[in-house]
């Protein structure tokens, strides 16, 4: 089996590559990644010498480049993780989100149509469903929940999902889509909630909580997401959407307090800052379909996963310190400098 994994130098894509190379030693995995600010070549260093792995620096919007790579590699499966993924950045500058997340997805699928493929899998997000109210804990996102997006990020991901389903219906492209809840774990870029709070707490810096910290996210350990995608690309039905999430809803403020506790840092570091524009209140996935059809269940409990994650950030300080010492400082100043 030959698989092209796009966005494999990012958080979830890299974890997926590690999972696949370990579980399927005979598969050839080609990582296609533009290495944007979120892509980190050093993340992949443990697999660079694996003869079944190849890294190609390429933009998924580069049509000629993508077509040339498909011609050369003749992939059986394409798994598209490549995306601009941070909501706050999408609020500042939506353009690149439309380009990568929508045009890039179409470009990849055009290549799939031209060269033939067994499966194109789109890694999507629960954010395409918009949000749920805090006072209705009985409500969950199912695959039938209408798309109703809030941010430029989620709108671009929803647009891509619609294109994927349209390519299936119009051209018969063998597609599948997974819509997962918030992931956490190793190699998570430190602009996102959990790694940002771990890094700041370790540096005794303020922990910037948006609004009152009451927003709820449904957290899943990244390996469980990778296992779900592995199952879908091998056994999932063509043309189908699968929600992925582990019924692990938590308020942001509770996560930040837990991180303080685990690291032995005082809660006085917590600083309430101006809310995110259009901030989604609650995400909550109903994973019944993937459980019933494919037998998927999350394996890592949050209490264990967060400990493992914190330990990883303690053991791999070089990885994130290098990131936050560079261009990231400019971003951090812009987003948090005088945010009140
Ligand atoms: P990330 O930002 O950590 O990584 C994105 C990767 O894509 C980076 O390596 C980057 O260099 C690459 N990339 C960006 N633009 C590119 C382009 N034009 N061409 C080629 N490569 C490009 O993102 P992540 O958190 O790993 O998310 C991966 C996917 O999973 C995204 O599609 C995201 O929407 C989706 N998702 C993420 C979460 C989450 O909690 N992080 C949850 C559900 C779904
Ligand atoms: P994030 O990790 O950006 O993921 P998403 O917005 O895609 O769910 O944010 C998770 C939650 O944490 C979200 O409700 C926004 C909040 N948040 C903060 O309160 N402070 C921060 O500095 C960040 C980055 C996020």
Instruction: Delineate the domains of the chain, giving CATH numbers in brackets.
Output: 2-187+220-247+280-300 (3.40.50.720)
Polymer length of the chain: 340
Q: At what angle do helices 252-263 and 193-202 cross, to 10 degrees?
A: 30
272 catalytic residue (yes or no): no
127 is catalytic: yes
Is the CB–ligand 1 distance for residue 298 below 6 Å?
no
Distance CA(83)–CA(125), nearest Å, equals 11
The pLDDT value recorded for residue 326 is: 83
Read off the pLDDT of residues 138-150 as tens digits, 9 standing for 90 and up: 999 999 999 999 9
Ligand with an atom nearest the CA of residue 212: 2
Instruction: Establish whether residue 186 lines the binding site of ligand 1, counting it when its CB lies within 6 angstroms of any ligand atom.
Output: no
Strands 175-180 and 119-125, sheet pairing: parallel
| CA gap 323, 5 in Å, rounded | 23
Centre of ligand 1 from the C-alpha of residue 85, in Å: 5
Q: Which are the contacts of 333, defined by CB distance < 8 A and separation ≥ 6?
A: none
Q: Ligand 2 pocket test: which of 210, 225, 309 has the largest number of ligand atoms within 8 Å of its C-beta?
A: 210
119 CA distance to ligand 1 middle (Å): 19
- Which band of pLDDT confidence, cut at 50, 70 and 90, is reported for residue 340? confident
User: What is the pTM for the complete model shown?
Assistant: 0.98
Q: Count the Cβ atoms, other than its own, within 10 Å of residue 58.
A: 18
User: Is the separation of the CB atoms in 255 and 231 below 8 Å?
Assistant: no
Per the annotation, the verdict on 223 as an active-site residue is: no
How much is the pLDDT for 231? 98
Please indicate whether residue 218, judged by its CB atom, sits closer than 6 Å to ligand 1.
Answer: no
User: In this predicted model, what pLDDT tens digit does every residue of 44-78 receive, in sequence order?
Assistant: 999 999 999 999 999 999 999 999 999 999 999 99
Nearest-CA residue for ligand 2 atom 6 is 87
Nearest atom in ligand 2 to 280's CA = 14
The b/e string for 59-72 (b: 16+ C-beta within 10 A; e otherwise) is bbbeeebbeebbee
CB 157 near ligand 1, within 6 Å? yes
Residue 77, phi then psi, degrees to nearest 5: -135, 145
Indicate if the pLDDT at residue 328 is higher than 90: no
Per-residue pLDDT reduced to its tens digit, 79-91: 999 999 999 999 9
Q: Contact at 8 Å (CB) between 173 and 120?
A: yes
Check pLDDT > 90 for residue 119. yes
Instruction: Give the C-alpha distances (Å, rounded to integers) separating 79 from 20, 118, 181, 274.
Output: 12, 11, 18, 36
Nearest CA to ligand 1 atom 10: 39
- C-beta of residue 253 within 8 angstroms of C-beta of residue 209: yes
- Residue 190 Cβ contacting ligand 2 at under 6 Å: no
Ligand nearest to the CA of 270: 2
Residue nearest to atom 15 of ligand 1 (CA): 83
Q: Where are the beta strands (DSSP E) in 48-168?
A: 53-57, 77-80, 119-125
Yes or no: say if 276 and 192 are a contact pair by the CB < 8 Å rule. Answer: no
- Residue 190 beta carbon below 6 angstroms from any ligand 1 atom: no
Residue 11's Cβ-count burial label (10 Å; 0-12, 13-18, 19+) is: buried
Cβ-contact 96, 102 below 8 angstroms: no
User: How far apart are the C-alpha atoms of 286 and 290, rounded to whole Å?
Assistant: 9
Question: For residue 279, what pLDDT is reported?
Answer: 98
Atom of ligand 1 nearest to the CA of 180: 43
């Amino acid at each position: 089996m030959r698989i092209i994994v796009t966005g494999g130098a990012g958080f979830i894509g890299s974890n997926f590559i590690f999972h696949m190379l370990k579980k399927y030693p005979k598969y050839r995995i080609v990582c296609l990644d533009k290495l944007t600010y979120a892509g980190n070549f050093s993340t992949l260093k443990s697999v660079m010498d694996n003869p079944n792995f190849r890294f190609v620096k390429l933009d998924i919007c580069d049509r000629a480049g993508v077509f040339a790579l498909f011609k050369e590699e003749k992939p059986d499966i394409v798994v598209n993780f490549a995306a601009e993924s941070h909501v706050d950045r999408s609020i500042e500058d939506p353009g690149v989100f439309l380009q990568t997340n929508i045009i890039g997805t179409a470009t990849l699928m055009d290549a799939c149509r031209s060269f033939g493929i067994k499966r194109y899998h789109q890694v999507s997000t629960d954010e395409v469903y918009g949000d749920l109210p805090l006072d209705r804990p009985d409500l969950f996102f199912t695959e039938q929940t209408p798309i109703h997006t809030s941010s430029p990020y989620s709108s671009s991901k929803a647009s891509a999902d619609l294109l994927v389903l349209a390519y299936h219906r119009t051209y018969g492209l063998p597609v599948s889509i997974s819509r997962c809840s918030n992931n956490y774990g190793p190699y998570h870029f430190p602009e996102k909630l959990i790694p940002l709070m771990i890094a700041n707490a370790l540096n005794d810096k303020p922990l910037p909580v948006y609004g009152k910290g009451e927003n709820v996210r449904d957290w899943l350990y990244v390996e469980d997401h990778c296992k779900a995608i592995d199952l879908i690309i091998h056994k999932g039905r063509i043309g189908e959407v699968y929600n992925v999430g582990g019924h692990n809803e938590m308020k942001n403020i509770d996560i930040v307090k837990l991180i303080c506790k685990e690291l032995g840092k005082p809660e006085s570091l917590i600083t309430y800052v101006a809310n995110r524009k259009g901030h989604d209140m609650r995400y909550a996935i109903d994973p019944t379909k993937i459980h019933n059809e494919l037998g998927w269940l999350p394996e890592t409990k949050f209490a264990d996963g967060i400990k493992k994650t914190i330990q990883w950030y303690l053991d791999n300080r070089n990885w994130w310190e290098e990131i936050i010492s560079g261009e990231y400082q400019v971003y951090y100043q812009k987003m948090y400098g005088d945010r009140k």
